[in-house]
Structure 1
Amino acid sequence: MGKVRKKTKNTFNYSVNRKKLKRKAQKKAAPRITCDEIRNAWNDAKSVASNLADMGLASDPNKALPIHGNKAKNAEQSQVRKPYVLEELKALASLPSKKTMGISSDMVLYVRHMVENYGENYKAMARDEQNYYQDTPKQIQRKVNLYKRHHPAEYQALITSRTKQ
């Protein structure tokens, strides 16, 4: 006959402070710093405010630029220990942005098709098969104008190729 296994009972550990454990886990799972420049200069042993002060950044804008010009606070903040972070951030901000808010690729294709086939006849565009969303002539005109603003050279090329045909 087999042996009976003795199961140890799960007992509560009173010597562990669960609240502290939870706080520690939340701190570790806090959002990561996405900015490479700041993350590289960050010191985990220091507080957020002292880290930002070392980099020349402000943790609280109200204290950084007080309404009543307190000269003592302004003199304190001039002690930047990591000026290279500010220089890197300025260089990054001065670069032209790669992302432009504008038109989706689907809308570009839609407008190109409409302009190639109909020119500026918006009523005919509204009756086209590719007008899946049943846009009114006015809505199509707005989309074409948006395309004109974002891609003026391409729009002129479409119009000139249409007139040559």
Structure 2
Amino acid sequence: MKIKKQHRKKKYLHKLNRKRMHIKQKSTGEVNCKPIKDAWDFKKSSLRNMKEMGLANDPNKVIKIPNFKQEKVRQAKKIVNQEDSDSDIEEEEVLPVPKKEVVEILEKEARARRARKFMLPKPQVEFITYLLDKYGHDYKAMAKDKKNYYQETWKQLRAKVKTFMGIPKQYSEYLASKGLLDKEEDEEELKKLAKALIMDDDD
């Protein structure tokens, strides 16, 4: 007796836009990198585009990872054929990718200094500013404070204060609220001030 195949009943889903779904599935995504996006030619293949920009389409072909098995096979063939060490099997040389304008722009962007986006959470800022207001830079007194719930050592609290002082945006707001800094003061001056305070604490 043959077992009948059970076919799931196909349902037409009205909420799905088949055309839009097909386009989304076919799409490989947008290029977010502006230099590559500007230089991209949609009439050419991705391989050709990358090659003309001076970029590698497949990094594994440009930077080869040594293969233990292939190396042992090469050595075995060398012993079997009784070849001299000078007449090794020629390996395919990968030519360096020529540097183009896009590569130079990308390298320049990679070397450029980025703004620090790290920010401390609000509760932590409130705790640090509370300690600074009450004890100044007396870290040993901070460690004995009743609000030090996690029993952090004076060195741990000092590290937290230094981190806070190293964030110009949050530290400038604190200094401005105390009337110690003009809001329009240059960020570089603030960094120098924070560095000087940190150096004083180390002493």
- 1:124 matched to 2:124? The reply is no
Structure 1 portions without partners, runs of 5+: 1-11, 13-17, 161-165
TM-score (norm 1): 0.58
Q: Structure 1 residue 50: deviation in Å?
A: 2.2
Q: Structure 1 residue 143: deviation in Å?
A: 4.7
Give per-residue Cα distances to partners, 1:43-66, cap 9 Å, x unaligned: 223332222222111122110123
1:36 aligns with one of 34, 46, 60: 34
TM-score (norm 2): 0.49
Over the matched positions of the two proteins, sequence identity in percent amounts to 22
1:65 aligns with one of 29, 40, 63: 63
Task: Count the aligned residue pairs.
Answer: 130
Give per-residue Cα distances to partners, 1:109-165, cap 9 Å, x unaligned: 43232133132123333x13xx6xx33223x742531432563643864998xxxxx
- 1:104 matched to 2:120? The reply is yes
Distance 2:144 2:196 in 1: 20
Q: In 2 relative to 1, CA 159–57 (structure 1 residues): closer, same or farther, beyond 3 Å?
A: closer
What amino acid is the match of 1:151? M
Distance 2:32 2:63 in 1: 26
- 1:151 matched to 2:151? The reply is no
2:150 aligns with one of 135, 146, 152: 135
What amino acid is the match of 1:41? A
Distance 1:155 1:110 in 2: 21
Q: In 2 relative to 1, CA 147–51 (structure 1 residues): closer, same or farther, beyond 3 Å?
A: farther
Distance 2:130 2:46 in 1: 54
Distance 1:62 1:54 in 2: 18
Higher relative contact order (CA 8 A, sep 6+): 1
Structure 2 portions without partners, runs of 5+: 1-11, 13-17, 67-90, 167-192
- Give the structure 2 partner of residue 25 of structure 1: 24
Secondary structure of 1:45 counterpart: coil
CA RMSD of aligned residues (A): 3.6
1:74 aligns with one of 75, 95, 99: 95
